[in-house]
Amino acid sequence: MTAVAPGPEAGRPPVADPSPSVPSVPSVLAVLAGHVIVAGLGGLGVRLAEQLQDSGVAVVGVDDRLTAAARRRLERAGVRVLLESPHVAEVLREAGIATALAVAICHDADLANLQTALIAADVAPAVRLVVSVSNAQLGDQIADALDQARVLNLAELAGPSFVEACVRSDVTHAFTMDDRADAEVFAAIEEEITGGGAFRARYGDLTPISLRRAGARDAEVCPPRDTPLRPGDRLTVLGRLAEFDERGMAVSGLHDARLFAALGDGDAQAPGAARRGRGTAARIREFTAIIRGELDRPFRLALLAVLTIMTVSTVVLSLTYADHNRAAPPGFGPLDALYLTVETMVTVGYGDFNFGAADEWLQVFGIGLMLFGALSIAVVYAFITNVIISRRLERAMGRGRAGAVRDHVILCGLGSVGVATMNGLLRAGRQVVVIERDENNRFLPVAREQGVPVILGDATVRSTLLEAGLAHATTIAALTSDGVANLETVLSAREAHGDLRAAGGSRGTRGDLRVVLRVVDVTLADEVERRFGIHTARSASALATPYFVGAALGHDVLSTFYVERTPFLVARMTVRAGGGLVGPTLWELSTGTRVLAVTGAAGEPDYRPGRHTRLDPGDELLVVGPVTGIVDMVRRNQRVAMPGQAWTSAG
């Protein structure tokens, strides 16, 4: 019987008690309808299940490799879990795929996601599929083959936020409402308050989204416009570029806004992540492919020529040498013939075998073997030397070019997120130096094709950081998939940079070093800030999850970004008739978010909705706020009974 992990269901649709008296798993899940199935409960899958459950949508998780810690998290969130493989059609049927809103497929490996997507499409062709794929080419193929599938790339979704964190600018984020060339650009600006007064008197209709008082650790999210400002406060304000111009605000780096807004348009394709869980045969095929890639066609032809000459010579000598050479020893056999062939081709000449007493035609054959054999061996030696020397030159040139770069970003870890960040930084006109530990990393050719210096080494070692030009770098970004290793890297870099400044041995050493840290567990970000003072910690899964939530529920997520430690979400949603957003004023709703624009029946957006604005069914909203606030707004916007849904949404 399929194992089911129970969880609290306060405010959720009623389900049967998962006790031994329950006759079967299908009866436990039969009452669920309009739910979302999450297949693959790794970091992304667990976070997605939690946010969907918080949105008032029932979730069934399916994974046969669920860790104990992840299971406890899901149980606390009220998520039902099937401890079975989602690659089995019967398991998906037990999860209620026939009545599901969507199936979100979030395995760590692309091939596992592909397998689950194909099975789900076959079992329930009408159900929406949301598939996580890191390989852009594979994603395109899945999207073309499965009409009901929405393919999302975590690296491409999270990459723009890491780029914004790496770039020194007062503009922390920018986005547009649509893809039109003349679309309005919204920008989030961070600045330190130098004077007093109310926000509205100073910033007018601009939107405050974060305010951290001087000396305070935590920021107030989406404060009211009547909030008084004091010197030393850190304020993040959001508005259209036209509004900044209208108020005559001189913002450093405002020209970066249009560039940041374009980062998420999908033009920069991120290569796929390395596959996991491969068998021995797959590894052998990959190793063979690597060898074939290193040994090009001319090399293989030269090697084939050597083997051909050796084979022909061995056969000829084994058949003729004893009968046509008076000096041939008795018992001359095939092994002796091979020995004489190799001895002649490599021009060793020990004197134990020779062609001096052989018949004339055999001497001519020996001369030809010497010439062509030695030539072919020399060509093979040359190719081998070329491979070795080119590798060493490649490393040396990478170090040399890195030492000549100034005001650059050091990017540690060239995975899929690292490549997406590198592409974004290059598009932003920034110089990049990459540190990568694995010399066989599949993404190294991507960096080298774009002229990015690559240092092969351990980023936690000071000498490697110095080779990457740490003394002259503006930013170091640790973007591997190991959060603890990333922390070690940035702490080592910060200490080494401080020592350089203190010693004064490096002229031109920058006065400060910006640190960008990728974390896997968002709780680690709080500890990192509290203990080490690192304020730019980002979680790729936290940035990407809202896109998966929106795709599963049919909402449009425009972008995600961080303000200090808080992840924010920009979403577009349509007000539903019968939902909780119809009727109350924006002030009365108090959702903890900000409505940036309301587009009514006339089709023209109102960029200045006030606290007394009431929403009508069909209005299209552009909303910004922390993820929890947007999730609450989505929940309020649900109809009392969604089509195909047998329960009432919470809230």
- pLDDT tens readout for residues 176-195: 877 776 778 899 988 888 88
Strand order of the β-sheet with 185-192 is: 171-176, 185-192, 234-240, 207-212, 220-221
User: Which pLDDT band holds residue 272 (cuts at 50, 70, 90)?
Assistant: very low
Let me know whether 489 and 371 are in one domain.
no
Domain boundary among 388, 422, 452: 388
User: Which pLDDT band holds residue 265 (cuts at 50, 70, 90)?
Assistant: low
pLDDT in tens, 449-490: 888 888 888 999 999 999 888 988 999 999 998 888 999 999
Residue at 639 is within a domain? no
The whole-model pTM stands at 0.69
pLDDT: which is higher, 6 or 54 = 54
Mean pLDDT of the chain: 81
Q: How many domains does the chain have?
A: 3
Let me know whether 374 and 411 are in one domain.
no
Confidence (pLDDT) at 458: 92
pLDDT: which is higher, 647 or 440 = 440
Let me know whether 362 and 482 are in one domain.
no
Strands (E), 215-330: 220-221, 228-229, 234-240
Residue at 509 is within a domain? yes
Q: Is the pLDDT of residue 347 over 90?
A: no
User: Which pLDDT band holds residue 288 (cuts at 50, 70, 90)?
Assistant: low
Q: How open is the CA angle 2-34-119, to the nearest 5 degrees? A: 55
530, amino acid identity: R
CA trace torsion 590, 596, 600, 603 (10° rounding): -170
User: Which pLDDT band holds residue 138 (cuts at 50, 70, 90)?
Assistant: very high
Three-state secondary structure of 121-171: HHHCCCCEEEEECCCHHHHHHHHHHCCCEEEECHHHHHHHHHHHHHCCCCE
Residue at 231 is within a domain? no
Let me know whether 122 and 97 are in one domain.
yes
User: Which pLDDT band holds residue 302 (cuts at 50, 70, 90)?
Assistant: confident
Let me know whether 338 and 436 are in one domain.
no
User: Which pLDDT band holds residue 421 (cuts at 50, 70, 90)?
Assistant: very high
Confidence (pLDDT) at 16: 37
pLDDT: which is higher, 385 or 179 = 385
Q: Read off the pLDDT of each residue in 631-641 and give the average, rounded to a whole number.
A: 72
How do beta strands 408-412 and 473-478 pair?
Answer: parallel
Let me know whether 527 and 383 are in one domain.
no
| CATH code of the domain in which 75 resides | 3.40.50.720
Extract the tokens encoding 131: 């598939």
- Full domain range(s) for residue 529: 405-538
Q: Read off the pLDDT of each residue in 624-632 and give the average, rounded to a whole number.
A: 84
Let me know whether 6 and 148 are in one domain.
yes
| CATH code of the domain in which 347 resides | 1.10.287.70
Q: Is the pLDDT of residue 153 over 90?
A: yes
Residue at 412 is within a domain? yes
Domain boundary among 538, 557, 576: 538
Let me know whether 415 and 292 are in one domain.
no
pLDDT in tens, 208-260: 999 999 888 788 888 888 889 999 999 999 988 888 888 777 666 667 787 88
Q: Read off the pLDDT of each residue in 313-327 and give the average, rounded to a whole number.
A: 87
Domain boundary among 479, 510, 538: 538
pLDDT in tens, 334-343: 898 898 888 8
CA trace torsion 388, 391, 396, 402 (10° rounding): 180
